[in-house]
Amino acid sequence: MQVKGSIIALLIGLMILSALTPLQSIAALKGDPEEKRAEHMLMLAKKAMMRTENFINSLRGNETLMSILENTSLIVAFEGNATLLEQVNATLIDAYNAFESGNYSKAIKLTLEAMEMIRDIFKNINCILEYAGLAMASEEKPEFQAQGLLVAMNRTLERIGRVRAVLENLQNRSAISEEDAEYIEELLNNATQYLDLNYIRQLLQQGNVSEAAHRLAEANKLVSKSFKVLKSEAEERLVKRIEMFRIRLEKRIQAMLGNLSQEEINEIMSTINMSSPKDFKDFIKNLINEAKHSAEMKIMMKVREKLMHISEKMRGFARGIYKVRHMPPSSVSENPSLKLSVEVYVSKHHVTLRVTIINDGNVTLVFPNSAYGIIIEKKVNENWVPYYSPISAQILVNLKPGESKEITIKLLFPESGSYRIVAHAWTRLSNMPVESSVEFTIS
């Protein structure tokens, strides 16, 4: 057992060293631009998380070790700390999202939080293995070991505070069900009870470090569970918003068809390669279901792709409507005009587009979403193909004559080549389709 314990202690020492090395590298980046620091830190944190996951899996794969932990009732403490890795992963996902949106300071802050959690995992698991007799005891004085546990507990209490702040914000906006809010609050209250610092200090003074580590592990498990519920709630809200978008689209399709004859409807459907309005609605519904599935799987690029496909089909539908519809007399005086301009700012890892949309016609224009129906296309073999469509609120947006709006779009790691921005709308009175485009180059 002593030889086996020494081998495991060596493994733990190497893993802790590899987990802490990225933090030393991060310190060396203090003088670098914020974007470069954020990118490098994310890369290091991802590697550290993968090492941690492999480390935990290697321990779980050791049947003898797991059996000893079960016999000494320390398996719950071990699994509690292992569960914290789920929160590390969720925090890194948030960090990546912050980086993509250009919020580098937030990305750095979240990455550091993830790295702190990784260090806590290693320290706590090492402590658990020591008390199971599977690792060599630390040469540090007992009071230093106890202090390490207290620091880890204070960090967990800070995480509880952050989850509570998010929960309160959601409750103020009525963006979470009462049932889920109560469940999360119960989890956090139970976690806080495990971390009664006065009681923990008594345990440490009595030398009962294993019980203190066990309570910390249980608290971490509860915090991770509450974090997971919050994430699930956010995913459900996105799925619900996509479903509401489908319902609004169906109503819009029905309203645009109006009192047209069957012959006119057939002509419109033929322009978009559909056999009937039901066929068209089923097509939209299938794309919406695929978008919802992608949202549940956290594949946001797929969500964008499906919404962009819907937008393209709706453009064709609006053109077909205009071709066959009998225009009201007042539409004769309509003179719609839409203009776009773009300023391009190129950095090492992304391109920022500042797009100005101008209604310089004499009629109000209606856009299909808050991104003004914008689709970015790339020239491939002399053909324009869809490249990117910004995720936006799926609501109808009006732009009155003479009005202009500006939006910012960020493209991450775009390839060099020719691009263009295409915006589409229709006139409010006659549903006349209106489009405009502006080209730019990335070298």
> pLDDT of the chain along its 443 residues, tens only?
343 443 444 444 444 444 444 444 444 455 557 888 888 888 888 888 888 887 887 777 776 677 767 666 667 667 777 777 777 877 887 787 778 777 888 888 888 888 888 888 877 777 777 666 555 444 444 444 566 667 677 778 877 888 888 788 777 767 677 888 888 889 999 989 988 888 888 887 787 777 887 788 788 788 878 877 776 666 666 666 677 777 777 777 777 777 778 888 888 888 888 888 888 888 888 888 887 777 666 566 667 677 777 777 777 787 777 667 655 545 556 788 999 999 998 876 678 899 999 999 989 998 877 888 888 888 888 888 778 777 665 567 889 999 999 988 887 667 788 999 999 888 877 777 888 999 999 88
In the chain, % helix, strand, coil (3-state, to 5) comes to 65, 15, 20
Q: Are 86 and 195 within one domain?
A: yes
Is there a domain that residue 243 lies in? no
Structural domain of residue 309, as residue ranges? 258-326
Q: Are 44 and 88 within one domain?
A: yes
Q: Are 152 and 267 within one domain?
A: no
Is there a domain that residue 116 lies in? yes
E strands within 309-403?
Answer: 338-346, 350-359, 365-367, 375-380, 383-388, 397-399
Is there a domain that residue 387 lies in? yes
Is there a domain that residue 245 lies in? no
Task: Pick the last residue of a domain from 276, 297, 326.
Answer: 326
Q: Are 43 and 149 within one domain?
A: yes
DSSP, res 388: E
For position 433, which CATH number holds? 2.60.40.2360
Q: Are 197 and 123 within one domain?
A: yes
Six-digit token pair at 336? Answer: 């719609």
Is there a domain that residue 420 lies in? yes
Q: Are 275 and 218 within one domain?
A: no
pTM over 0.85: no
pLDDT for 75: 73
Q: Are 309 and 391 within one domain?
A: no
Is there a domain that residue 428 lies in? yes
Rounded Cα–Cα distance for residues 150 and 145 (Å)? 9
Report strand pairing: 397-399 vs 365-367.
antiparallel
Task: Pick the last residue of a domain from 285, 306, 326.
Answer: 326
Six-digit token pair at 339? Answer: 């203009």
Report the SS3 class of residue 258: coil
Q: Are 319 and 359 within one domain?
A: no
Q: Are 303 and 431 within one domain?
A: no
User: Number of folded domains in the chain?
Assistant: 3
Q: Are 140 and 196 within one domain?
A: yes
**Looking at beta carbons, which pairs linking 2-10 to residues 24 or more positions away fall under 8 Å?**
4/64, 4/134, 5/133, 5/134, 5/135, 5/136, 6/136, 8/65, 8/129, 8/134, 8/135, 9/129, 9/135, 9/136
Is there a domain that residue 296 lies in? yes
Q: Are 102 and 176 within one domain?
A: yes
Task: Pick the last residue of a domain from 278, 308, 326.
Answer: 326
Q: Are 202 and 134 within one domain?
A: yes
Is there a domain that residue 218 lies in? yes
Other beta carbons less than 10 A from residue 429's beta carbon: 16
